């Protein structure tokens, strides 16, 4: 059965810390891996990764995909309280727009 597993499930850090969130997957017909940030309701799109080894970067956030080992990481440097959210990893299938999500990592950043 296809699955996406995220770790850790929960993370508590202080402002300024650097965090690494993990996402591994076992999915047939893999097309891309996507990261989302969910604060209250709507998941907000962060990155889409299709090729191995190419880092995507946006401000303090960066992400990379390893298609051989079937995992991705999301790094957040110099964390701020506004980074507190649930971070969701999802895999996109070929031929549909279906996403299969992990359970998410709840990040709490304290001042």
Site residues, another protein (CB under 8 A)? 4, 31-32, 34, 36, 41-45, 48, 88, 90, 92-93, 95-104
CA distance 16 to 92: 32
Q: Which is nearer to another protein, 19 or 43 (CB)?
A: 43
Q: Which of 35, 76 has the CB closer to another protein?
A: 35
| Of residues 9, 56, 60, 2, the one with CA closest to residue 34 | 56
Is the CB of 17 or the CB of 67 nearer to another protein? 67
| Bridge partner residues of 86 (DSSP) | 38, 106
């Amino acid at each position: 059965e296809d699955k996406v597993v995220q770790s850790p499930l929960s993370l508590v850090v202080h402002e300024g810390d650097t965090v690494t969130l993990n996402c591994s997957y076992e999915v047939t017909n893999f097309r891309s891996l996507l990261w989302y940030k969910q604060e209250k309701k709507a998941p907000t799109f962060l990155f889409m990764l299709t090729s191995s080894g190419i880092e995507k970067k946006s401000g303090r956030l960066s992400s990379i995909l390893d298609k051989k080992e079937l995992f991705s990481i999301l790094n957040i440097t110099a964390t701020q309280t506004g980074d507190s959210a649930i971070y969701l990893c999802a895999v996109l299938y070929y031929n549909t727009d279906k996403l299969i999500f992990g359970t998410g990592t709840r990040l709490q950043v304290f001042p």
